[in-house]
Amino acid sequence: MHSFKDAEGRSWNISITVNELKAIRNSVSVDGKGFDLIGGDITDTLYQLSKDPVLLVDVLYVICRKQCEERKVSDIQFGEALVGDSIEHAADAMMEELTDFFPHERREQMKKLLTIGRAAEKQINLGLNSKIAKLTPEQIAKAVLGTPSTKSPAKQASSRGRTPSAS
């Protein structure tokens, strides 16, 4: 069993069983369909969870629902406490628990997938940090505002109404 702490310091235990997987499928939907944590392409599932923190928190809430009920913590309160580093720790705990859910062969595949995913995330972050470090305020302004015209406003106005002469 894996655990994480939320932003309020509460500790939550993650346990993934067939019952939790059924509850997720019945309680969490994406595009009108029940979200299947282990069905389909696991890389797509992991990608969906990594890009959508609302989906991730919904899944985590279903997994932790019994604990929430015992502590009288609503789904809203639970979600509000998953911010910053706590959401990352919760996601890691869930992925580790999900990995442990599978039989040996698939568990080994999941471990490799998580290792590769974490290495890729580090590379992406390094690349982004490098690009951000090189940005200047002028580059950002140019990207937002577009390339300024080289014509003065007076020249632009004087050339607007002209048409080729008909004579």
> By residue range, what is the domain housing residue 45?
2-121
Is 102 part of a structural domain of the chain? yes
Is 80 part of a structural domain of the chain? yes
Q: What is the mean pLDDT of residues 72-100?
A: 95
pTM across the whole model? 0.74
Is 41 part of a structural domain of the chain? yes
Is 10 part of a structural domain of the chain? yes
Is 150 part of a structural domain of the chain? no
* Residue 101 pLDDT level (bands cut at 50, 70, 90): very high
Are 64 and 14 within 8 A, CB to CB? yes
How many domains, the chain? 1
* Residue 148 pLDDT level (bands cut at 50, 70, 90): low
Is 94 part of a structural domain of the chain? yes
Q: What phi and psi values does residue 2 have, to the nearest 5 degrees?
A: -110, 160
Structure tokens at 50: 């990594």
> What is the per-residue pLDDT for 96?
93
Q: What is the mean pLDDT of residues 54-76?
A: 96
Give the separation between CA 105 and CA 39, rounded to whole angstroms: 16
Q: Is residue 152 predicted with pLDDT exceeding 70? A: no
> What is the per-residue pLDDT for 110?
87
Is 153 part of a structural domain of the chain? no
Is 127 part of a structural domain of the chain? no
pLDDT digits (tens, 9 = 90+) for 1-59: 899 999 999 999 999 999 999 999 999 988 888 898 887 778 888 888 888 999 999 99
* Residue 98 pLDDT level (bands cut at 50, 70, 90): very high
Place of tokens 């720790």: 89
